[in-house]
Structure 1
Amino acid sequence: MKKNHHNHKKASHILPEIEKKILTYKHFGYKVPPLRIIRTPEQIEGIKASARINTGVLDCVAANIKEGMSTAEIDKLVYDYTTSHNAIPAPLNYEGFPKSVCTSINQVVCHGIPDENEILKNGDIINVDVSTIYEGYFSDASRMFMIGDVKEEWKRLVEVTKECLEIGIATAQPWARLGDVGAAIQEHAEKNGYSVVRDLCGHGVGLKFHEVPNVEHFGKKGTGMLIVPGMTFTIEPMINMGKYQVYVDEKNGWTVLTEDGLPSAQWEHTILITETGNEILTW
């Protein structure tokens, strides 16, 4: 009896009409999210507080990033800003990752490891991906930065990738499907002559660094998990100028690079699904 009461209590923050709607979709064979990933109002406030610090970290990087600085200096900025706000950089020691931030330059798709010998040069494009733990709550976002005079075709890659993120967010509506999001991103990328990385995806975030669902950036409309109010997840398309195939650097076991050596770009936000749409938490 007590156990049942506890289970009921766990889902009691979900509005009855929303829970009923989820169960109806489930009855008709839809893949629905587990109720445990639907956030309570208190959890949403905690994730938002984490996200505000995370945005501050990226603003700090934006104010300081420049030609001639090392990616290790970016790592120090991220660590110092995060810890001075009583927060923890989520990547640091995550499954053995040695730094506080991922710095991915040019043909590096993601998970680039900061290094004092890696110097930003004129014409580079770099993704800076930061994730923050604050009072137990997680947030995650990344931005592209263009260093000095960047080739027009590389600028265009960065801009179209940002559009892919915006289109993905616009498609992530309550009662849509995750496949709709992937399909919309893929269509925009491919229409512009680019490809979408298949081996990596967005993810649920909030109470842990990576939670269900996986959010793929390619796919078919009308497939995948139902998107439900109260979910929090990242959308973070990785878009390649050339082919979508990637490989992991065997030397460090982390850094993902394009197989053809052409550049890649990525933008990322954490979003909250609401009853009427969604809210970007990592502005």
Structure 2
Amino acid sequence: MGLRKQKVVPFKSAGELDAMEAAGRIVGQALVAVREAAKVGVSTLELDEIAETVIREANAVPSFKGYHGFPGSICSSVNDVVVHGIPSKDIVLAEGDLVSIDCGAILDGWHGDSAWTFGVGDLSEADSALSEATRTSMLAGIAAMIPGNKLTDVSHAIEVATREAEKTHGRPFGIVAGYGGHGIGTQMHMEPFLANEGKPNRGPGLVVGSTLAIEPMLTLGTVETSVLDDDWTIVTDDGSRAAHWEHTVAVTEDGPRILTPRP
């Protein structure tokens, strides 16, 4: 009796990972350009136009634009918006806003997907802690991207790091229910779904070349969210602020490789 082949998170060749990183670098450039432009009085639509310009000038295509009808090249999620905020001329940045920008690009058929959270001007201590906790939980998930681990080892690492961050910052954080990371490669969203919490050592195995988009979303309050009437914008049910960090990451023999580096 032959052993049934163990299911693994889909993997790419070394050359394909290089191609994914070429797409991911463009995403990183777009995010940096957006952050530099995100000042008081600037609309999220203006940020979207900047991102689209960076992506197209690099001969890539914004993967979000037109995705299931989404109108923007970025998701711009301000304050209590968790993810999938639609860029708008009517959403104008103000001092102290907490802004999460998610961006994707396609180059030669390969996808990069990345997000980060930052403040407009000075952030409150709570908002600063929230963004930092989300960033460190993402980094913990990235660190679990090693050969021999399983999918939920990444989920568990994110959860453990979130609970550690609560001790560090002396405040609770909500791990947004029902949302998480995903497989990525020739499409933006591929199997498997990656939860941001859970028991370790479950699900498909990580092998050299496996790629995932790792993206914790934390709040200063509830884990419960709702979708607004535009069918995209996800907001916290209690109005608490949210943060979102994401990188596209590959498993290599030499440790995790971030495929969406920022210049």
TM-score bracket for the superposition, by shorter chain length: over 0.9
In the alignment, does 2:118 pair up with 1:107?
no
**Aligned equivalent of 1:174, options 147, 158, 163:** 147
In the alignment, does 2:24 pair up with 1:46?
no
Task: Look up the match of 2:32.
Answer: 59
Aligned-partner Cα distance in 1 for 2:250–2:217:
21
Unaligned runs of 5+ in 1: 1-22
How far residue 220 of structure 1 moved from its aligned partner, in angstroms, is 0.4
Task: Look up the match of 2:239.
Answer: 261
**Aligned equivalent of 1:280, options 251, 255, 258:** 258
Aligned-partner Cα distance in 2 for 1:101–1:266:
13
How far residue 70 of structure 1 moved from its aligned partner, in angstroms, is 0.2
How far residue 275 of structure 1 moved from its aligned partner, in angstroms, is 2.1
Task: Look up the match of 2:169.
Answer: none
Aligned-partner Cα distance in 2 for 1:149–1:99:
27
How far residue 188 of structure 1 moved from its aligned partner, in angstroms, is 2.4
Asked if structure 1 preserves the Cα contact closer than 8 Å seen for 2:145 and 2:250, the reply is no
Aligned-partner Cα distance in 2 for 1:267–1:172:
16
How far residue 62 of structure 1 moved from its aligned partner, in angstroms, is 2.2
How far residue 115 of structure 1 moved from its aligned partner, in angstroms, is 0.3
Q: Which has the higher helix share?
A: 1
Task: Look up the match of 1:229.
Answer: 208
Task: Look up the match of 2:217.
Answer: 238
Task: Look up the match of 1:79.
Answer: 52
1:202 maps to a residue whose letter is G
How far residue 42 of structure 1 moved from its aligned partner, in angstroms, is 2.8
User: Could you list the per-position Cα deviations for residues 67-105 of structure 1 after superposition, in whole angstroms to 9, with x for gaps in the alignment?
Assistant: 110000001001111111111100000011111110001
List, as ranges, runs of 4+ consecutive aligned residues in structure 1 with deviation greater than 3 Å.
none
Task: Look up the match of 2:123.
Answer: 150
**Aligned equivalent of 1:161, options 108, 125, 134:** 134
Unaligned runs of 5+ in 2: 167-171
Asked if structure 1 preserves the Cα contact closer than 8 Å seen for 2:78 and 2:98, the reply is yes
Task: Look up the match of 2:190.
Answer: 211
User: Could you list the per-position Cα deviations for residues 22-64 of structure 1 after superposition, in whole angstroms to 9, with x for gaps in the alignment?
Assistant: x96x56xx5x226xx3212332221111111111111211222
1:256 maps to a residue whose letter is I
Asked if structure 2 preserves the Cα contact closer than 8 Å seen for 1:204 and 1:210, the reply is yes
3-state SS of the aligned residue for 2:35? helix
3-state SS of the aligned residue for 1:103? strand
Aligned-partner Cα distance in 1 for 2:102–2:86:
11
How far residue 143 of structure 1 moved from its aligned partner, in angstroms, is 1.1
Query: How is 1:180-191 mapped onto 2 (pairs within 5 angstroms)?
Result: 180-191=153-164
3-state SS of the aligned residue for 1:159? helix
1:239 maps to a residue whose letter is L
Task: Look up the match of 1:252.
Answer: 230
User: Could you list the per-position Cα deviations for residues 139-196 of structure 1 after superposition, in whole angstroms to 9, with x for gaps in the alignment?
Assistant: 0001111111211111111111111111111122111112111112112223411121
Aligned-partner Cα distance in 1 for 2:54–2:149:
37
3-state SS of the aligned residue for 1:203? strand
Aligned-partner Cα distance in 2 for 1:178–1:263:
28
Aligned positions, number: 254
Aligned-partner Cα distance in 2 for 1:62–1:44:
26
Identity over aligned pairs, percent? 34
Aligned-partner Cα distance in 1 for 2:15–2:127:
42
Q: CA RMSD in A?
A: 1.5
3-state SS of the aligned residue for 2:238? coil
Aligned-partner Cα distance in 2 for 1:189–1:275:
27
Asked if structure 1 preserves the Cα contact closer than 8 Å seen for 2:75 and 2:84, the reply is yes
Distance 1:243 1:190, change over 3 A: farther
